[in-house]
Chain A
Amino acid sequence: MKKKRLWALISLGVMVVLSSIFIYWFYFSKPSPFPTNEQLVKEINSTPSELTVAVIQKTLPVDDRHAVVPFISKEDDYGLSYWVWKNHKWRVANIDTNGGPRVWKINRKDPSTFYFVWNIHHGEQISTFYLYLIRDRGYHVTKGVENYNPRVQMEKNVSLHEKSYGVMKLPVEWEKIMNSFIKVESAKQPDLFFNHFFPEQTMTFGWLPGDKISGKEIVSKGSGISRGYSNGNLDIENIGVLNKENIELPLKK
C-alpha cells in the first residue's frame, strides 16, 4: 500500500516537472534562429493571401521576438511581412503588398516599442522621404479658463538610397514627447484600468516623399492589386500621406 502511494507521488512529481519544462520551452524559451529564405517564401505563399513571393529582400530584426521581412511579389509589388516568435515558432502574423510607411506598435501603450517600417518601390524617382509626428494647434476657453495647445510638428528624414526597405525605432525625442502627453492625458481620467489613453487620439503620424513626385502616385504604383493577410493580432498603423499644405515651414526642403 505504502509503495503504491510513493509511486503515485513520484509520477506526479515527474509530471509537474515535465509540464513546467514544456511550458517554459513553449512560451518562454529563447527564439530559435530565423527561418531560411526558402522557408519564409513557403510560409508566406501558404497563407490565404493568394500571394506569390518572387524575392525575399532581407530579414530585418526588430527585437528578440519580432522581425520584418521585405519582399517583392511575382506581380512586382514591394511588400512587407511581419514575423513574431510565438508558441515556439516563428510565425508570419501579417503580410501587406503595399509597402508604404507603417508604424508597428509592439505594445500599443508604450511608444518605446513603436517601429517605423517601409518598403517603397525602388523604381520610382524617390530617394528620400520624411516622417512626421503632428499634433494640431488649438485653443479652447471653458468657463473662462483658457487653454492653448502649441502645434507639434516633428520631422525625421529617411534616405532610400540603395535600399527600398527599412526598420526604424521611433526617435527618442518623439518617444519623450508622446510619453509626456500620455501621462497628462491618463491623469485626466480617474479610472486608469478601463480608460487607457492612447496617444493616437491626439497625435498623428504622417509622411511625405522628399522628391517632386506626390505620395499618392507612389502608393498607387505596382500591380494595383492589394493582397495581404493578417491574423489580427498585430497593431500596425497605416501612416497617411501628407500634402505639402499640411506642413508648416515647408521651405527647408
Chain B
Amino acid sequence: MIVNFDLNAIGVFTGILAWSVIGFFAYQIYKKQMVKPKVWKILMAILVGLFSFSINWNMNETMFRIPILPLGVWILYFFCKGKAGRWQTYRTFAWLGFLMNFVFLFLTLVSIPIYHMIYSENEPSTYISTVENASIITIHPSAKNPTLKEEKLLKQLSSMSQEKIYSNQWYDDTYKNHELIDRKERFPYQLIGASPKWGSGLNTIIYIEDDGKGILISTPKKQLYFRSEESILERGE
C-alpha cells in the first residue's frame, strides 16, 4: 500500500488556523448567550451550517469554493422551528458555520502566495532537496548504465537554469531519421527517491536527460525543465 507521507505543511497550518477561528467565535457566542446548549449540539449546528450550495472556481489548478446559498442554515431552521426557542439557541451557531465558508475561502487565497513564496515553483531545490536515498533507474534501452553523483546534483541545483520545453520538437526528433533500431529516448533515466522540500506535499516524477545535464520534472499540475553546466551522472558501460 502506498502511504502518502507527503504532508502539505501550509495546508495543515491553514486548516488548524481556520478551526481555531471557529472555536474562538463559537466560544464568544456561547459566553454571550443566555441559554447554554450542550457542546456536541453546538458542534452539530456549526457543521450543518457549513453545508452550502457553492460555486467551484478553478484558478491555476486550485479549487476555490464560493458559498452562495446557506443550505445548512435552512435545514437547521426547518428542523428547529417546531419547538419554541430552539431556533433562537442555535441560529447564531448555524450562521457561524456558513460564514466559515468565507473564512476558508479567504485563507485559501492568502495561503497560495505564501506557499509559492516558501516553495518557489521555479527553483529546482523545491523538488529535489535531499538525495540520500536517491538513485537512477534506467527506463529506456538507449541509456547507458550510469550512476548518480549526489554531491554534484546538489551542487548544481542552485545554478540550474530553467529552459523551455519543446515537447513537440523533442517528440518529432526522436522519430525523424530514426528507425526502431537506433531510436533514442531523450530522457532515458528517472531519478527515484529524492525528497522535495519539507512540507511542500509535492509528488513528482523526475526524468534525466541522456547527457546527464537536464532534468524534466513532472508535477501533478505541470512540467518544468532545468539545465545544468555539468553532468550529474557518471558514465558506466
Contacts and interface: CB of A to CB of B under 8 A. Distances in A.
A190 interface: yes
B63 interface: yes
Chain A interface: which size bin?
Answer: 35 or more
A146 B165 contact: yes
Chain B interface: which size bin?
Answer: 35 or more
Contacts of B138: 154
B171 A138 contact: yes
A110 interface: yes
Nearest to A174: B137
Interface stretch (A19-27, A28-36, A118-126, A245-253): A245-253
Interface stretch (B99-107, B118-126, B179-187): B179-187
A252 B2 CA distance: 35
A145 B168 CA distance: 11
B187 A150 contact: yes
Interface stretch (B38-46, B83-91, B213-221): B213-221
A248 B183 contact: yes
B116 interface: no
A110 B140 contact: no
A62 to B, nearest CB: 18
Contacts of A179: 2
A107 interface: yes
Among B168, B204, B205, find the residue whose CB has the most chain A CB atoms closer than 10 A: B205
Interface string B155-182: 0000000001111101100100000111
Contacts of A107: 1
Nearest to A251: B181
B142 interface: yes
Given A153-B139, A184-B218, A245 B180 contact: yes
B141 interface: yes
A155 B141 contact: yes
B3 to A, nearest CB: 11
Nearest to B207: A150
Contact of A148 (B171, B192, B203, B204): B171
Interface in A135-188: 137-141, 145-155, 173, 176-177, 179-188
A182 B139 CA distance: 16
21 contacts: A109-B1, A110-B1, A139-B168, A141-B167, A146-B165, A146-B166, A146-B223, A147-B222, A151-B140, A153-B139, A173-B137, A176-B192, A182-B2, A183-B2, A183-B6, A185-B220, A186-B203, A248-B140, A248-B142, A249-B142, A249-B180
Given A183-B4, A184-B204, A248-B180, 14 more contacts: A137-B185, A146-B167, A146-B223, A147-B167, A147-B222, A149-B218, A150-B140, A150-B207, A153-B185, A155-B141, A176-B137, A177-B137, A177-B192, A190-B63
Interface of B: 1-2, 4, 6, 63, 137-142, 164-168, 170-171, 174, 180-183, 185-188, 190, 192-193, 203-205, 207, 216, 218-223
